[in-house]
Structure 1
Amino acid sequence: MNLKSLFSGTLALVLMSFAVQAGDLPDFGGKTVTVVTENAYPPLQFIDPNSGHAIGWEYDAMNEIAKRLNFKPVYQNTSWDAMIQAVADGQYHIGMNGITIRDDRKEKVDFSDPYMRSEVFMLVRGDEDRFNDAKSFAALADGLVGAQAGTTPFYVAVHDVLDGNEQNPRIKLFETFGASVQALKTGDVDVVLTDGTAGKGYAEASEGALKLVGGPLGAEDFGFIFPKGSDLVVPVNAAIKALKEDGTFDTLNKKWFLDYKLGG
């Protein structure tokens, strides 16, 4: 099956367009849709340490989208470094990983409408008193920041916190976001940049071992990604709109960002 087209023929496209315009979500007839993620960005998607199952905000949201559009999501796992290119190459129908909507990425993949807006904050150890914002951290000559290459926090660290040099030795790279947070806890780095929702979850779960400092360093919109020209974009956008309007996303925000305690 061509991963860029779940529907064939002009009639199917006309019917789907009419259904979306009329306010009724299209029906995929139980087709299988492959969804790829990293499972390393709590509380959006991660492995539950208690059950060993993959859970999170994005899983709940995607399962609800699948229910409304009547498709069967089959989840796959890959690294952040490989994800966008793999979706662009048509290996998967959808990618979900707290992916910031950016113009350079739009050259490779199509994005859904935003399903979440987040702000970037500084996550530090609970006893950190050497700096309390981006300016004072930049002035700390031996301060290290942990990040994943190619992510929004990486570029914010490079351009908004440090000197614009992507090879700056003060940036220590990690394969996953979770690994960078662990390095923060053990003192191998001094700060990790994160969206405020995930950072708040880590700070609350740490029982004082971690905290957020300073103000937001910028806002970012998250979207699902698709191969260029995917027939999934329009119906998924219609489902996102419905989930926003009926309060489903608000319920998920409360569940994962207020009620759920990471690691416990």
Structure 2
Amino acid sequence: MNKIMTPKFSVAALTAAAALTLSACGSDSEETADTASAWDEIQEQGTLTVATSGTLYPTSYREEGTDELTGFEVEVVREMAERLELEVEFSEMGFDEMMTSVQTGQVDIAANDIEINEDRKEKFVFSTPFKYSYGTAIVRADDLSGIETLEDLEGKKAAGASTSVYMETARSYGAEEVTYDNATNETYLRDVAIGRTDVILNDYYLQTLAIEAFPELDIVIHPTIKYRPSEGGMVMNKGNDELVENVNKAIDEMLEDGTIAEISAEFFDGADVTQPIDIEE
């Protein structure tokens, strides 16, 4: 997932805590007990800890003039937690840090428009997918940044998070990566408009809404570049089987009764992102 950030606030950095080291000689029964106790601890505390950026409009952000965290996945998480009879404690951080925090057990879940792919599935467990999209490219309006196809990315400056699937695509076509530390939408977009960078590869829905937020910038979504159909879900650590089971049960119910589709319409200008998309690459 590459980051398209909301321009309306900044986010304080979080200090990473030391991870507990598990004994390599633990038995299968001990591992089962650890797994069970992880979910038991969540229930005992009554709180689900969730990593999110707080800067990714409209997935996780703050409305102008308020201190209230909201967004598509923020509200999906809140509804899911309510069905699990849990409170939610959000921790705001950059993408790389949130994945590390899941892996080390600092948080229970990461929810931030995270695309499901094979590399991540080797390290993490994903929830049932509930967002489908595809990749697009933001470029300058006057000359499309000299890009007609993905092959033209060679030598261009692509803005985004280094570990995102979109930056992986940019690098695979020879683009020069330009990375940011949890920057805002405006920073990303304005840099393309003024020529500091050339292109932002990212999710179609996020790109569309980001451009709508800054009509004064001379940028557009590339009219012909469509690639990488994607599906996204929440991220959890491997071994937390009961957590995964309960999260999926709630999400499946929310998909079936249309709750996530309703939340999608609220944040994606009426669009239902829960429906798979078929595009010609």
**TM-score of the superposition, structure 2-length normalised?**
0.74
* Corresponding residue of 1:83: 98
Deviations 1:130-167 (A, max 9, x none): 5353346336x5x32112110111111112xx23xxxx
Deviation, structure 1 residue 256: 0.8
Decide whether aligned partners of structure 1 residues 246 and 172 sit closer, same or farther in structure 2, where only a CA change above 3 A counts.
same
Query: Hey, what's the Cα distance between the residues in 2 that align with 1:238 and 1:182?
Result: 41
Aligned pairs (5 A) from 1:47-66:
47-66=62-81
Decide whether aligned partners of structure 1 residues 198 and 154 sit closer, same or farther in structure 2, where only a CA change above 3 A counts.
same
* Corresponding residue of 1:112: 127
Aligned-residue RMSD, C-alpha: 2.6
Tell me if 1:185 matches 2:193.
yes
Query: Hey, what's the Cα distance between the residues in 2 that align with 1:81 and 1:219?
Result: 22
Aligned pairs (5 A) from 1:1-80:
5-7=38-40, 31-80=46-95
Query: Hey, what's the Cα distance between the residues in 1 that align with 2:191 and 2:147?
Result: 19
Deviation, structure 1 residue 233: 0.7
Secondary structure, aligned partner of 1:60? helix
Which amino acid in structure 1 is aligned with residue 101 of structure 2? A
Aligned pairs (5 A) from 1:104-253:
104-135=119-150, 137-138=152-153, 141=155, 143-159=156-172, 162-163=173-174, 170-176=176-182, 178=185, 179-207=187-215, 209=217, 210-213=219-222, 214-230=224-240, 231-253=242-264
Which amino acid in structure 2 is aligned with residue 217 of structure 1? Y
Q: Is the 8 A contact 2:137 2:199 kept in 1?
A: yes
Query: Hey, what's the Cα distance between the residues in 2 that align with 1:73 and 1:196?
Result: 28
* Corresponding residue of 1:24: none
Q: Is the 8 A contact 2:145 2:199 kept in 1?
A: no
Deviations 1:24-75 (A, max 9, x none): xxxx588111111112221111232332432210111101101111111111
Query: Hey, what's the Cα distance between the residues in 1 that align with 2:201 and 2:263?
Result: 23
Moved more, 118-127 or 208-217: 208-217
Secondary structure, aligned partner of 1:99? coil
Which amino acid in structure 2 is aligned with residue 109 of structure 1? F
* Corresponding residue of 2:278: none
Deviation, structure 1 residue 5: 1.4
Moved more, 125-134 or 246-255: 125-134
Decide whether aligned partners of structure 1 residues 259 and 113 sit closer, same or farther in structure 2, where only a CA change above 3 A counts.
closer
Secondary structure, aligned partner of 2:40? coil
Query: Hey, what's the Cα distance between the residues in 2 that align with 1:33 and 1:144?
Result: 39
5+ residue gaps, structure 2, are 1-33, 272-281
* Corresponding residue of 1:16: none
5+ residue gaps, structure 1, are 9-27
Which amino acid in structure 1 is aligned with residue 239 of structure 2? G
Runs of 4+ in 1 over 4 A off after TM superposition: none
Q: Is the 8 A contact 2:46 2:85 kept in 1?
A: yes
Q: Is the 8 A contact 2:147 2:153 kept in 1?
A: no
Deviations 1:104-153 (A, max 9, x none): 222322211111112110012333345353346336x5x32112110111
